[in-house]
Chain A
C-alpha cells in the first residue's frame, strides 16, 4: 500500500490507477473476443454475398432449376421448403402451444412435471440425424407414410416441438397472476380464463417461439434426407401447380438439400448458383428471425403492466 497523500486523502492512489488499467484492459480483451466471434462471420457473409451477386435476380428465385441445374433458379426447392415449414408448423404449433399451456397452467410442482421438463430439454438436444432415424423408423416405415412430405413434416415437427413448448411456457409465465385470479373471481373456469385472457396476452411471446422454429425448419437437412427429400422432378412453371407442386404423399425438393447436392455432387453448376442458394437460405432465416426479434421488441413496448 502506498502512503496516503496527507494533503488530499481522496486523491487517486497508484493502486487505483493500476486497478482501473486492469479493468479497462479486461474490458478491451472481452470486447475483442466478442468481435473475434462476430467479425469473421460478417466478413464470410459478405464474401458469400459478393460471390452470389451474379446469380441473384428475380428469375433466380422464381424459376425452376433448368438444364441440368446449370441454369434457371431455385423455385422448386424454395416452395418445397415453404410447404415443409407450413405443414410441420401446423402439426407442431398446436401440440407445442397446448403443451406449454399444460406446463404453466395445469401442471403441479411434482416429480412428474419435473420429468416432463427434463424430457423437453432432452428432446431439444437430440441430434438432428437421430431425428432423421426416428422419422425413418416411425413415420416412413411404422406408420407407413413412405418417404413423403407428410413424413418429413412430422419429423421436423418433433424436432421443433421443444422450443415452441419452452417459449410458450415463458410467455404464459409472463402474464401476471392477478389477471388469472381476477377471472376466477368472476366465476370463469380455467380454460375460459386461458382462452380469453392469458393466451391473447401472451400471443406475441408464443409467436416469437414459433417463428424462430420456422427458421430452424427451413435450414435443417438431416431430418429430411431419408424421409422425403429428392433431387428433382417436373415442377410446373406457372399456374396453381407451380404454387403447390407437392402433395402430402409426394417427395419434395428442399432448399437445404438442394444446396448440399449442388455443392458436393453436381457437375457444372455455376459457382454463383451455389453461393446464391446459400445466400437465399441465409436471407430467409435472417428475415424470419428479424420478424421474431421485431415481435419481441414490439411486445416489450406494448406491455401495459
Chain B
C-alpha cells in the first residue's frame, strides 16, 4: 500500500518536473535558434571593434607632454601595393598587392575548378550508374575532408618540385602552385552543390528533352543547364568564397611575397596569410595589430557579399518556379 503511494508520488514528481521545465526548455530552444544571428553579428562586431583604432587614430605618449597619433591612411590602405608594417623608417599599410594576390590565386583556382567540377557533376548526375554514383560521391567527400594544412604541405613537397621540374622556373611557390591546390580544395563543394542542383531538376524535364529527340548531351546543355543555372551559379560562388577565405594552404604555397604579379609563376601573398603570419607579432594597441583586424573586416565583407549573392541566387529558383 505504501509502495503504491510512493510510486504515484514519484510519477507525479517526474511529471511536475517535465511540465514545469518544458517552457524553460522551449525558451532555451528559441535562444539557440537565434544564436546563429547572434554569432554572425558578434563576429562582425568584435572584429570591427578591434579594427576601429586604426581608423580613428591611436595616441601614444612618446615623451612627457608629447603625443604621437598614428592613424591609418585609408587612401594608402586601398591603393598602395606597399605593405611594410614594421618598417624601421616609415611603415606602409597598403593592401593592394595582398588583394591582387588573393584575387589572382582565387580566380586561377576557379578557372580550373569550375569546368572540371561541373564536368564531374554532370557525369555523376547524368551518366553514372547508381553504384558508381555512390562510390564517386564518397570519394569526392573524402577529398573534401583533407585538412587545409595538409594541402599546404602537399603544395610544398609535391607541387613545388613538380613545377620547378616541368617549367624550369627557379621557385615553385607561386600563383600556379596555390591555384592548383586551391582548385583541388574547392572542387568537392562545387561538385556537390552542382550535383544537387542538377538532381533537383525534375525528371520530367529530362524526359521532355529526350522525347524531343535530343541526345543526352543536348538535353544536358539545352535543358538542364538553364533549369539548374541558379544552383550552378551558387556552386561557383561558394567555390570562390572558399578560395578567398583559405588561409593555411595559401600561406604555405604562394611564396608569401608582397608582389604585384605579372605571371602565373610569380610568388604572391594573400590577405588571409598576412593576418596569420603577422598577428602574433603585433602588439595589442599597435597600428599594425588594428590594421590586421581591418583586413579581417575586409575578408568578412567579401565572404558576406558572396554568401548573400549565392543565397539570393538560389532563392531565385524557388521564385521562378523552376524546381
A/B contact in complex, CB under 8 angstroms: yes
With contacts A137-B50, A215-B145 known, is A41 near B184, CB below 8 A?
Answer: yes
Q: Closest chain A residue to B115 by CB distance? A: A33
* Complexed CA–CA distance, A264 and B277 (Å): 12
Mask, A192-229, CB within 8 Å of B = 1, is: 10000000000000000000000100111110011000
Q: A23 near B: Cβ within 8 Å?
A: yes
Q: Is the interface of A mostly helix, strand, loop or mixed?
A: helix
Within residues 86 to 103 of chain A, which ones have a CB less than 8 A from any CB in chain B?
94-96, 98-99, 101-103
Of B27-35, B56-64, B72-80, which stretch is located at the interface? B27-35
Q: Which residues of A contact B146 (CB under 8 A)?
A: 41, 219, 282, 285
Q: Which residues of A contact B119 (CB under 8 A)?
A: 29-30, 32-34
Interface pair A116/B279, CB less than 8 Å apart:
no
* Complexed CA–CA distance, A130 and B300 (Å): 7
Q: A183 near B: Cβ within 8 Å?
A: no
Q: Which residues of B contact A259 (CB under 8 A)?
A: 149-150, 153
Within residues 105 to 151 of chain A, which ones have a CB less than 8 A from any CB in chain B?
106-107, 115-116, 118-134, 136-138, 141-142
Of A68-76, A157-165, A173-181, A236-244, which stretch is located at the interface? A157-165
* Complexed CA–CA distance, A103 and B32 (Å): 10
Q: Which residues of B contact A115 (CB under 8 A)?
A: 37
Q: A298 near B: Cβ within 8 Å?
A: no
Q: B87 near A: Cβ within 8 Å?
A: no
With contacts A47-B158, A102-B33 known, is A19 near B215, CB below 8 A?
Answer: yes
* Complexed CA–CA distance, A37 and B191 (Å): 10
Q: Which residues of A contact B245 (CB under 8 A)?
A: 125-130
Q: Which residues of A contact B35 (CB under 8 A)?
A: 95, 99, 161
* Complexed CA–CA distance, A132 and B148 (Å): 15
Of B91-99, B122-130, B200-208, which stretch is located at the interface? B122-130
Contact of B147 (CB < 8 Å), options: A107, A264, A285: A285
Q: A22 near B: Cβ within 8 Å?
A: yes
Q: Which residues of A contact B143 (CB under 8 A)?
A: 37-38, 41
Q: Which residues of A contact B217 (CB under 8 A)?
A: 22-23, 25-26
Q: Which residues of B contact A53 (CB under 8 A)?
A: none
Contact of A106 (CB < 8 Å), options: B33, B49, B50, B215: B33
* Complexed CA–CA distance, A189 and B20 (Å): 12
Interface size on B, residues (CB 8 A): 83
Q: Which residues of A contact B272 (CB under 8 A)?
A: 127, 129, 222
Q: A27 near B: Cβ within 8 Å?
A: yes
Of B6-14, B40-48, B260-268, which stretch is located at the interface? B40-48
Q: Closest chain B residue to A264 by CB distance? A: B252
* Complexed CA–CA distance, A286 and B303 (Å): 28
Interface pair A289/B141, CB less than 8 Å apart:
yes
Q: Is the interface of B mostly helix, strand, loop or mixed?
A: helix
CB distance from B307 to the nearest CB of A (A): 4
Q: Closest chain B residue to A285 by CB distance? A: B145
Q: B156 near A: Cβ within 8 Å?
A: yes
Interface centre among B150, B246, B292, B299 (most CB of A within 10 A): B150
Q: B187 near A: Cβ within 8 Å?
A: yes
CB distance from A124 to the nearest CB of B (A): 8
* Complexed CA–CA distance, A274 and B306 (Å): 36
* Complexed CA–CA distance, A36 and B217 (Å): 20
* Complexed CA–CA distance, A115 and B36 (Å): 10
* Complexed CA–CA distance, A2 and B40 (Å): 63
Interface centre among A22, A126, A142, A289 (most CB of B within 10 A): A126
CB distance from B281 to the nearest CB of A (A): 11
Interface pair B141/A34, CB less than 8 Å apart:
no
* Complexed CA–CA distance, A150 and B248 (Å): 22
Q: Which residues of B contact A103 (CB under 8 A)?
A: 33
Interface pair A20/B33, CB less than 8 Å apart:
no
Contact of A23 (CB < 8 Å), options: B216, B284, B310: B216
Mask, B96-127, CB within 8 Å of A = 1, is: 00000000000000000001110110111001
Interface pair B296/A130, CB less than 8 Å apart:
yes
With contacts A40-B184, A115-B37, A218-B147 known, is A137 near B32, CB below 8 A?
Answer: no
* Complexed CA–CA distance, A51 and B158 (Å): 11
Known: A119-B40, A127-B244, A191-B26. 16 other contacts (CB 8 A): A26-B217, A27-B216, A30-B127, A34-B136, A116-B37, A125-B245, A127-B245, A129-B275, A133-B275, A134-B42, A162-B36, A189-B22, A222-B247, A226-B280, A260-B149, A260-B252
30 contacts between A and B (CB under 8 A): A23-B215, A26-B217, A27-B127, A30-B120, A30-B122, A34-B120, A37-B143, A37-B184, A98-B29, A102-B30, A103-B33, A106-B30, A116-B33, A118-B308, A123-B43, A125-B241, A127-B300, A130-B43, A130-B300, A134-B47, A219-B145, A220-B147, A222-B247, A263-B149, A263-B156, A264-B156, A274-B153, A281-B149, A282-B147, A285-B145
Q: Chain B interface (Cβ within 8 Å of chain A)? A: 18, 22, 25-26, 28-30, 32-37, 39-40, 42-43, 46-47, 49-50, 115-117, 119-120, 122-124, 127, 136, 138-143, 145-150, 152-154, 156-158, 184, 187, 191, 215-218, 220, 238, 241, 244-248, 252, 272, 275-276, 279-280, 284, 292-293, 296, 299-300, 303-304, 306-308, 310-311
Q: Chain A interface (Cβ within 8 Å of chain B)? A: 19-20, 22-23, 25-27, 29-34, 36-38, 40-41, 44, 47-48, 51, 94-96, 98-99, 101-103, 106-107, 115-116, 118-134, 136-138, 141-142, 158, 161-162, 165, 189-192, 215, 218-222, 225-226, 256-257, 259-260, 263-264, 274-275, 278, 281-282, 285-286, 288-290, 293
